[in-house]
Chain A
Amino acid sequence: MTRAILAGLTEFALTALVIGLVILAVLVPLALSQPDPLEVLRLFVLGPFGTIRHMGNILEAATPTMMTGLAATIIFRAGMFNLGVEGSFFLGGLAAAATAVLLPLTGLIATPAAILIGALVGSLACIVPGYLRVRFGASEMVNSLVLNFAFLFAGVYFLNYVLRDPNAGALMSYKLPGDFTLDRLLQGTRLHTGVIIAFVACLLGGIWLYGTRSGLNVRIVGWSPGFASHLGLASSKLLMQAQIAGGLIAGMAGAIEVLGLYSRFSWTGLPGHGWTGITVAILARENPFLVIPAALFLAYLQVGGDMLARNLDVPSEIVGLVTAAIMLAVTAAAIFRHPAFLRLIRDIKGKEAGEEQGA
């Protein structure tokens, strides 16, 4: 058992090393272009830990991506490359706002009802491409990619013709009634109770995947369809269950984001948290428990980037570059499937003591 932990730590160490190198490779040239390079590095790396408020900002930024990361994890675990998470997030937010504007709900049931409707409507963007794959064998990847935009424009139409407040200057919905909100948790930030939902969702997702029969069956279908058919598992049903679960979570994430942060709904483009969720899932190696630190890490980079932008006039987009590079580096088979690394892991697991290998 200890050997397995040691091997896991070795893999983690390599991941951390690769990520560190990637960050430096992107950041150092940029820092050198600035008058005070060391200040750039210090602000980016240490800045987010500077105050409670900044740490609150990290949690705030990680709230939606924890949930989209969890959604993508569940979908990928079933062996599907369904990118509908982005569309589900958008639709979920829209449906929650529509619930708030259109339905005469008040009191304690208002917010849960909006989140539930957001989840249900949002799940469509994952369910449709998933179903077309399971039923007809159409590529879920291409279908989800294009249908995300179809859902976006359908949503914008709905916003423009149903929810739009004609008295507001720009294209945005009527104000969401006061009962439709999530409580703020920390002064000076927009951190709201949604973060608790996100944490709990990831923990429940991990317990489901590793602790229940259906979680086990989904992992079997995703990893080896041949073994699933040998066992007589209902593969299509399990695949659809995973797409539905992922869609519900992503839709819920969108609803929580809208209710937690905004007083009006005003998205006219895809918000991008679904894409980040895919990055989170990949970084977390498709493990729901690791989605939490992975989302927090990407949020930490985001806050670091924002601080650079605010204090040194360095654009925060640098973070997008870092994230993309990390995404490629941690999936590179040339690094993590390198024969030398695999041999090292095997030696650590196989031999009585792995210490001499570590050196």
Chain B
Amino acid sequence: MIEFFSAIADPAVFATVLRVMTPLLLAALGVLISDRAGVLNIGMEGIMLSGALIGVLVSAATANPFLGLFAALIGGGLLGALMAFFINGLGTQFIITGIALNMAALAATTLGLFLATGDKGMSGALKSGVLPNIDIPLLGGVPILGPLLSGHHMLTYLAILAVPAVAIMLARTPFGLHIRAVGSDPKAAAAAGISRNRVQLYALTLSGVLGGAAGAYLSMGYVSWFAQNMTAGRGFIALAAEVMGMGTAWGTFAAAAVLGIAETVAITMQTKGLPSELMQMIPYIVPAVMLTVYAARRQAKARKIS
């Protein structure tokens, strides 16, 4: 156990955990907002993938990584809004809409990459911008803490700051209250004059913006290129993290951290030739178990009442 903590406290390992966790956390917070509004964003995987490509293309074209990030955020938000339009405007089911978005994004990003670079696999030829790491001025000098906490990617800090921001948004703002009301009981919300369509549109847009940020981190932080299907299921892990987080921002943060550690261990095991696949199962089995236990408890409680 002590070994485990001292390994985590190693700045290099800690940095890896943060690197792995950042996209998960951003995306999971996005899923959280959509879920609380009653339209679970199954399309997160596709939104991340799109954000990753947009970030690379725009930053390469403008030679400005911040414009790349900005474009990824806008692109993600538009995709979220598009989902809301399909679900509430055209009456498609939200699950089917999410599956279709994932399918379309995988195709469209490959196509977009090909049209931009002539290559279908990787954006090696494009010079993608890289978003900077941030050194925290005073903290950097402090022994032990300094190397642990300073010098990480700007989106890592943003992701961590997004946790209290989302928590406060949900708990303390009128919009957050409306999200919770619509997601829990759309009829009662409507009786109080709150439009489900509008709340879900904003929630999915915001969810998309966070997904865009997660995607931009993958292609402009984690690495500095775009590869076909580079999200590799991270959107679904984010979904799982949100389920593990029991619908709260801090819970989602904890879940993303646990999954980040699990993946770091998996990566380490892989380099040592140990079976990493079993570690890779963790992010998928734990949420299924938690979801089931949670449902079983709710069922038992409901039985007791009636």
Contacts and interface: CB of A to CB of B under 8 A. Distances in A.
Given A145-B236, A315-B111, A324-B103, A153 B284 contact: yes
A106 interface: no
A82 to B, nearest CB: 11
A31 B250 CA distance: 49
A129 B292 CA distance: 9
A21 to B, nearest CB: 14
B115 interface: yes
A149 to B, nearest CB: 4
A282 to B, nearest CB: 7
A142 B35 CA distance: 12
B91 A332 contact: yes
A123 to B, nearest CB: 17
Given A147-B288, A321-B107, A321-B111, A332 B95 contact: no
A142 B92 contact: no
B132 interface: no
Interface string B78-111: 0000000010011111011101110110111011
A56 B219 CA distance: 40
Given A147-B288, A275-B103, A33 B91 contact: no
B21 interface: no
A157 interface: yes
Given A318-B111, A328-B90, A161 B100 contact: no
B110 A146 contact: no
A146 B288 contact: yes
Interface string A3-46: 00000000000000000000000000010010000000000000
Given A328-B86, A328-B90, A328-B92, A150 B284 contact: yes
Nearest to B46: A324
A156 B279 CA distance: 12
Contacts of B292: 132, 136, 138, 143
Nearest to A160: B277
A73 interface: no
B285 interface: yes
Contacts of B12: none
B298 interface: yes
B240 A146 contact: yes
A141 B95 CA distance: 9
Contact of B291 (A143, A150, A275, A327): A143
A294 interface: no
Contacts of A143: 288, 291-292
Contacts of B171: none
A328 B291 contact: no
B181 interface: no
B164 interface: no
Interface residues of A, number: 46
A323 B89 contact: no
A315 B243 CA distance: 36
A301 B42 CA distance: 25
> Among A147, A153, A282, which residue has the most Cβ atoms of chain B within 10 A?
A153
A333 B91 contact: yes
A147 B284 contact: yes
Contact of B86 (A81, A132, A332, A337): A332
A323 B104 CA distance: 8
B281 A154 contact: yes
A150 B288 CA distance: 10
Contact of A145 (B42, B91, B106, B277): B42
A331 interface: yes
A319 interface: yes
A132 B99 CA distance: 22
A335 interface: yes
A240 to B, nearest CB: 16
Nearest to B297: A136
Given A146-B284, A324-B107, A137 B295 contact: yes
Contacts of B233: 149
A320 B298 CA distance: 40
> Among A141, A148, A157, which residue has the most Cβ atoms of chain B within 10 A?
A157
A335 B90 contact: yes
Shortest 8 CB-CB contacts between residues of A and residues of B: A333-B91, A320-B107, A324-B104, A157-B277, A138-B295, A150-B284, A324-B103, A317-B107
23 contacts: A136-B292, A137-B298, A142-B243, A143-B288, A143-B292, A145-B239, A147-B288, A149-B283, A154-B277, A157-B277, A160-B275, A161-B275, A315-B110, A315-B111, A315-B114, A317-B114, A320-B108, A320-B110, A327-B100, A331-B93, A332-B90, A334-B89, A334-B90
Given A157-B275, A319-B107, A321-B108, 19 more contacts: A30-B111, A129-B288, A138-B291, A138-B294, A138-B296, A139-B291, A139-B295, A145-B236, A146-B239, A149-B233, A149-B236, A149-B281, A157-B277, A317-B106, A317-B108, A320-B106, A324-B101, A324-B103, A327-B96
